[in-house]
A = this chain, B = another copy of it.
Amino acid sequence: MEVGELGESRVWTAALVVIGDEILSGRTQDRNIAQVATWLNVQGIRLAEVRVVPDVEDRIAEAIAALRSAHDYLFTTGGIGPTHDDITVDSIAKALGVGVVVHPEAWAILEKYYADKGGVTDARLRMARVPEGAELIRNYLSGAPGIRLGNIFILAGVPHICAGMLDALTGTLEGGRPLVSVTVGAWAPESEVADLLRQAERANEGVAIGSYPFFKQGKVGANFVVRSEEEQLARKVAGDLENALASAGYDPVEGGI
């Protein structure tokens, strides 16, 4: 087997803007950062930055303007429902300097979805509004679609609806090689093995090793996460690390924690 040139692979990156007072007030535990990140990894795209902003038009527009050209893709979650605090579409249109229009296909979807639920009221029609030029992202769960405009993907804030929209996008975005993570868990205080980790990372170009301590069963341990776009390399470095930790007398954590 010939080894391909590493230079050929470029890293595709995305940013995420989480929109919502409920996250910043601490009332709601965000679930979308982790789920968007995990989904992006599988698409071969790296989540490179996240911003959480309030339901304030200027603050949303500012984040969009700052991030949309810095990354290949920009995702947003939240603020696309029917109520007065749902201002994501208007804020993004403002950031891009485009108008807001009712998307005929979105309207049709809502008409069908609400046919036996009282019809499309003015409030519900808000969910058919999109920045001019946008396409829809199908939502098989609750009618109101997500929105795509160029490299911007506007998703729902309710985690399972957001997940459905990500499903609809699966395989449609160009990406690079997925980042592979291999975790080695050991009953080792990270401060005792810091040198070993540093050396392992330095010796292996294209590998990053993260160290995440925990305290369980009355004992100190850590998960060491080896990340690389090269699956074989990640597995090799993780295997070597496992052996080095065992040689140094640290018990493995079976199955990780």
Contacts and interface: CB of A to CB of B under 8 A. Distances in A.
A84 B194 contact: yes
Contact of A41 (B26, B38, B49, B85): B26
A21 B123 contact: no
Nearest to A35: B26
Contacts of A167: none
Interface size range on A against B:
35 or more
Given A85-B210, A191-B82, A194-B123, A26 B21 contact: no
Given A82-B194, A227-B21, A33 B30 contact: yes
A25 B208 CA distance: 12
A201 interface: yes
Contacts of A194: 82-84, 121, 123, 126
Interface stretch (A53-61, A88-96, A237-245): A53-61
Q: How many copies does the complex hold?
A: 2
A123 B190 CA distance: 9
Contacts of A155: none
Interface string A138-173: 000010000000000000001000000000000000
Interface in A16-52: 18, 20-31, 33-41, 46-52
Contacts of A49: 24, 51-54, 59
Nearest to A59: B49
A179 interface: yes
A252 interface: no
A82 B21 contact: no
Interface of A: 18, 20-31, 33-41, 46-55, 59, 81-86, 114, 117-118, 121-124, 126-127, 142, 158, 179, 181, 189-192, 194-195, 197-198, 201, 208-215, 225, 227
